[in-house]
Amino acid sequence: MEKIKIILVDDHQMFRDGVKSVLSDEENIDLVGEVGNAKDLYELLKTTNPDVIITDISMPDISGIELSKFVSENYPEINILILSMHTNEEFITKSLAAGAKGYLPKDTSMDELLEAINVIYKGENYFNKNISDTLLKSLISKSKPSKENIKNGTLTKREREIISHVVDGLSNKEIACKLFISIRTVDSHKNNIMQKLNLKSSVELVKYAIKNNLAKLD
């Protein structure tokens, strides 16, 4: 039987001992090394060729994210599983961007850890439900347009032109002359803009336009 060769990286000896005790009972897993920091891992990789590296994120010298980036760039055949107490979006997305194939919280069950190892060994990604939910919420949040973008999207090309001229300090009469429309039409456009953006004065309009890149000051 071909065994999955694993290196365990964690700065807590007690945690490493706990994981080792579980892995040692698995016939298809061979723990070929354990280290307490990334620098020792780099040295170990010069003589040992694992299939999977299980690493924490928080370590005393080099983080598990930096470790993942180094390994994925220099040893692309090695699959990385992050096992960390940090389960917020930032740590998860940075780990995946660095090349990690899977991410699990440290309080995960040993059965799930073994399942993740076997999945990642095949080159596939693995996340438990909590991690998947965090990633999904992040994706949904980023895909939603902001309130400002929704408001801005309702503005017509002519309204945007008028906003630009208001920011430039032009009066309604000057805007009318520049756009070859009547002053009454300018007034009408400005009223529509104010209603769409829920603003009450030209000063508020100028501030809003600059803040949301609808116009720039020269």
CATH of the domain at 161: 1.10.10.10
* pLDDT at residue 143 greater than cutoff 80: no
Q: What is the pTM (predicted TM-score) of this model?
A: 0.63
For residues 108 and 174, membership in a common domain is answered with no
For residues 137 and 183, membership in a common domain is answered with no
For residues 133 and 182, membership in a common domain is answered with no
User: Mean pLDDT over residues 38-46, rounded?
Assistant: 95
| 89-97 CB contacts, 8 Å cutoff, 24+ apart | 89/134, 89/135, 89/137, 89/138, 91/57, 91/65, 92/131, 92/134, 92/135, 93/135, 93/138, 94/65, 95/57, 95/64, 95/65, 95/68
**Domain tally for the chain?**
2
User: Mean pLDDT over residues 62-80, rounded?
Assistant: 94
Q: How confident is the model at residue 53 (pLDDT cuts 50, 70, 90)?
A: very high
For residues 108 and 83, membership in a common domain is answered with yes
Q: What is the CATH number of the domain that holds 133?
A: 3.40.50.2300
Looking at 62-157, which runs of residues are DSSP E strands? 79-84, 102-105, 126-127
Indicate the range of 91-100, 124-133, 172-181, 208-217 predicted with least confidence.
208-217
Give the whole-number percent of the chain exceeding pLDDT 90: 44
* pLDDT at residue 150 greater than cutoff 70: no
For residues 40 and 94, membership in a common domain is answered with yes
For residues 118 and 14, membership in a common domain is answered with yes
Note the pLDDT tens digit of each residue in 201-217.
877 788 788 777 776 55
User: Torsions phi, psi of 114, nearest 5?
Assistant: -65, -40
Q: Residue 100: which domain range?
A: 4-143
Indicate the range of 30-34, 156-160, 203-207 predicted with least confidence.
203-207
